[in-house]
Amino acid sequence: MIEQEHIIKGYDPEISRRILSYLKPYKLLTVLALIALAAAAAAELYTPVIIQRAVDREILVRYASFENTPEARSVLTNQGADYFDYVTPSDIFISYQDLPWLSSAQERQLRSEGLLDSHEWYLGEPRDDPKFLALLESLEEHVVITDEFFALPRFVLSDLSSQDIQVLRAGNIENVRRLSGLYLLMLLGMLVFSFGQVYLMAFIAQRVMEDMRLDLFRRVIHQSMSFLGRTPVGTLVTRITNDVETINEFFTSVATSLLKDVVLMFGVLAVLFVLDVRLAWFTLASLPPVLAATLFYRLKARDSYRRVRLWISRVNAFLSEHISGMDVVQMFVREPESRSIFSKLNAKLLSANLAEMYVFATFRPLVNFFTSVSVGVIIYFGASQVLEANLSLGILIAYINLIQLFYRPVMGIAEQFTVLQSAMAGGERIFSLLDDVEQIPDTGRKLLPKPMEGRIEFKDVCFSYKQDEPVIRDLSFSVEPGEQIAIVGYTGAGKTTIANLLTRLWDIQEGNILLDGHDIRSYQLHELRSAVQPVAQDVFMFSGTIAENIAFGSEIPREKIVAAAKLVQADGFISRLPDGYDTVLTEWGSNLSTGERQLISFSRVVAHDPRVIILDEATASVDTETEVLIQQGIRRIMKGRTSFIIAHRLSTVRHADRIMVLSSGKLMEMGTHQELLDRKGLYWNLYKLQFTS
């Protein structure tokens, strides 16, 4: 039965806090990334303002001319104008963009009262250019000129040639060029700062992933056999690879993008209110339906995302199971049934993916629709205000750009929700693994004596893998240094458990296990396991060369590796390989036979030179010829070392110094091969079962 996917969290502040705690070593880079983000957002927000200034102040220069009288000053002062930039003894010139209060009705009233001139005016700065001075002289009857500015009715400009316009407005043309340069500079700043922000956050995310994977791997390799036995390998691999990858997306797609989108949205609103309060309120009035659509999308996206994750999990589980067991599928002619089941699972996954795409396909056009509606509303109301001279064209253009800039983050925030969900789910699984501590306590402080004797003693040892299901019961025995002890018994008697307890892969519940007179828990764990090493029946070969598998991460000279292989009879077949000790092993060492892998495992033990060796069914799966080689290797590596031989085949243990016979976790008999046969007890029964028919 396929287990259902865990419900994915939308947002969890505690998980976010723990994810962000990995940023501590990279505080400076994070600050730099945030500065780059703020700079890129500021540059993006400033570009519409540059366009507005170019249009209003340099392209469409529109000024109103008020009579410089107490009545006109009173009107302007009452509207909040307490300072005037352009003043002559007879006139006050104010840009129309500084007159948001001036409606068409007020404009007509002021003109009827003679306080406002009937014409719009153009203002500029005077220059010493002869062509400019000659042009002003020709327009003497219309021009108003001071040391600081000159003014012309705008209707005069329509009668001038293009050459005269260029002379008259040379200052505006120069300012437009300057503003164009500034605009390009802002675009370049956006490019540079956005690149810096994206690169820095990607770099930080990769380093965080590295740290997180190291923490996870460090946790896994120190976990107890109990934890590793009940946790599927695929689950652990997924935690360290796929789930950590979601944290990368959290930093690169969610954290920075979300922050930038929020900054942009609030920045746009701030700029909108600075440019024109009335249009800003129109913009806010269009937000509720967008927010409602975003909330609806969020719920639908979450549900569809969960369904996709569920069916991906089920499809992957089915594939993993059936591809691994394909020999069984073919043996029982189950190909049609397997294909049918997979077809149904695949159809469910297709349906879930299409449902998710439907949500995306609906939301994007919907946001585009609201964007277009908002732009249309702004154009409708803004254009009427421009026609009534209550709003400048530059502000209207800037508003349209800012509205489009505002809605882009809205879409981004909604779509990042699925990434956030994935990151929260991945973070939850990662921290669950980090918090699940089931380790063999490494509290010992003793170092192994040099030289080490290898005396082993079990005192009243009791142990169970599961509570109330004892495997070892009050086991007591002692082994002298260099002695060879065989352990035999029926399946489930506890033979392999002794090896696990001696190497502290599991800890006993009662009693003591002594090594050279000291409890093995008093030794440092790495010291104990370097002195006591097992050789299992199922030998594991790692990817790499034969020499690397023998050395297994230790700095062992090549001469010692070769000597170890020769000692256990492995050098012969290794030398016949095309690349000898540099032959690269395929997955699980499948390019070697079972016996060859076993000989390499013996070479590994000899090269690491432990004082105590445990051979657990080391020859159970090999042919007779290979077994002869292995037995020769066993005799050589056990010489001078304390050794345990765990075996079912009694022919392999008859030469042991003593034989322990276990049953239901208890020591039933102990003695030499002949002594045990003479007793005609449990060992004698085992011997009869194997050698008589």
Q: Are 640 and 473 in contact (CB under 8 A)?
A: no
Residue 163, amino acid: Q
**How far is it, in rounded angstroms, from Cα 128 to Cα 130?**
6
**Got the DSSP string for 313-347?**
HHHHHHHHHHHHTHHHHHHTT-HHHHHHHHHHHHH
Q: Out of 141-145, 193-197, 367-371, which region has the weakest mean confidence (pLDDT)?
A: 367-371
**How far is it, in rounded angstroms, from Cα 693 to Cα 691?**
7
For residue 141, which phi and psi values (nearest 5 degrees)? -70, -20
**The predicted structure's pLDDT at residue 456:** 93
**Could you give the 3-state DSSP secondary structure of residue 672?**
coil
List, in order, residues 6 or more apart from 134 with CB less than 8 Å away: none
Which of 35-44, 248-257, 276-285 has the largest mean confidence? 35-44
**The predicted structure's pLDDT at residue 692:** 64
CA 353 distance to own-chain centroid: 23
Q: Find the helix packing angle between 594-608 and 558-567, rounded to 10°.
A: 120
230, burial (CB in 10 Å: exposed 0-12, middle 13-18, buried 19+): exposed
**How far is it, in rounded angstroms, from Cα 292 to Cα 367?**
11
Beta bridge partners of 91: 67
What is the signed CA dihedral for 574, 575, 580, 585, rounded to 10 degrees?
-20
25 vs 267, which has greater pLDDT?
A: 25
Going by pLDDT thresholds of 50, 70 and 90, the confidence category of residue 624 is low
244 vs 553, which has greater pLDDT?
A: 244
Pairing of β 484-489 and β 642-646: parallel
pLDDT tens readout for residues 432-444 = 888 888 888 888 8
pLDDT tens readout for residues 150-183 = 999 988 888 888 888 888 888 889 999 999 999 9
pLDDT tens readout for residues 650-659 = 777 888 899 9
**CA within 13 Å, CB half, 129:** 14
For residue 351, which phi and psi values (nearest 5 degrees)? -60, -40
Going by pLDDT thresholds of 50, 70 and 90, the confidence category of residue 553 is confident
Which of 402-411, 540-549, 621-630 has the largest mean confidence? 540-549
Q: What architecture is domain 198-435?
A: Up-down Bundle (1.20)
Over 60: is that where the pLDDT of 622 sits?
A: no
**Could you give the 3-state DSSP secondary structure of residue 639?**
coil
Going by pLDDT thresholds of 50, 70 and 90, the confidence category of residue 636 is confident
Cα–Cα distances in angstroms (integers) from residue 568 to residues 241, 312, 320, in the given order = 39, 48, 38
83, burial (CB in 10 Å: exposed 0-12, middle 13-18, buried 19+): exposed
pLDDT tens readout for residues 103-153 = 777 888 888 888 888 888 999 888 888 888 888 888 888 888 888 889 999
Burial call 372-387: b when 16+ CB within 10 Å, e when fewer: eebbebbeebbeebbe
Q: In what order do the strands lie in the sheet with 658-663?
A: 532-535, 612-616, 642-646, 484-489, 658-663, 666-671
Going by pLDDT thresholds of 50, 70 and 90, the confidence category of residue 4 is very low
- Percent of the chain residues topping a pLDDT of 90: 14
Residue 61, amino acid: V
**The predicted structure's pLDDT at residue 3:** 42
107 vs 193, which has greater pLDDT?
A: 193
Residue 680 zone, left/alpha/beta (φ > 0; ψ -120 to 50; rest):
left
Give the Cα-Cα-Cα angle 314, 362, 402 (nearest 5 degrees): 125
Over 90: is that where the pLDDT of 606 sits?
A: no
Over 60: is that where the pLDDT of 446 sits?
A: yes
303 vs 53, which has greater pLDDT?
A: 53
Whether the CA torsion 540, 543, 548, 553 is positive or negative: it is negative
Beta bridge partners of 439: 223
* Structure-token pair, residue 125: 């700065």
**The predicted structure's pLDDT at residue 179:** 93
* Structure-token pair, residue 179: 């503003």
Q: Are 422 and 472 in contact (CB under 8 A)?
A: no
**Got the DSSP string for 360-390?**
HHHHHHHHHHHHHHHHHHHHHHHHHHHHTTS
**The predicted structure's pLDDT at residue 178:** 93
Q: Out of 123-137, 212-226, 295-309, which region has the weakest mean confidence (pLDDT)?
A: 295-309
The domain 456-691 belongs to what CATH superfamily? P-loop containing nucleotide triphosphate hydrolases (3.40.50.300)
Give the Cα-Cα-Cα angle 638, 641, 642 (nearest 5 degrees): 105
Q: Are 144 and 115 in contact (CB under 8 A)?
A: no
* Structure-token pair, residue 652: 């392999």
Nearest to 248 by CA among 213, 196, 298: 213
Q: Are 363 and 410 in contact (CB under 8 A)?
A: no
CA 54 distance to own-chain centroid: 44
Task: Give the start-to-end residue ranges of the domains of the chain.
Answer: 198-435, 456-691
Return mean pLDDT, the chain.
83
**How far is it, in rounded angstroms, from Cα 533 to Cα 515?**
13
DSSP state for residue 523 in the 8-state scheme: B
Whether the CA torsion 133, 134, 135, 137 is positive or negative: it is positive
pLDDT tens readout for residues 402-433 = 887 877 777 677 667 767 777 777 788 888 88
- Percent of the chain residues topping a pLDDT of 70: 92
pLDDT tens readout for residues 484-517 = 999 998 888 888 889 889 988 888 999 999 999 8
Rg (CA), the chain: 42
**The predicted structure's pLDDT at residue 7:** 46
Over 80: is that where the pLDDT of 547 sits?
A: yes
DSSP state for residue 456 in the 8-state scheme: E
Over 50: is that where the pLDDT of 579 sits?
A: yes
Going by pLDDT thresholds of 50, 70 and 90, the confidence category of residue 2 is very low
List, in order, residues 6 or more apart from 191 with CB less than 8 Å away: none
**How far is it, in rounded angstroms, from Cα 490 to Cα 690?**
12
pTM: 0.71
List, in order, residues 6 or more apart from 230 with CB less than 8 Å away: none
pLDDT tens readout for residues 308-366 = 767 876 787 788 777 877 878 887 788 888 899 899 989 988 988 888 788 777 777 77
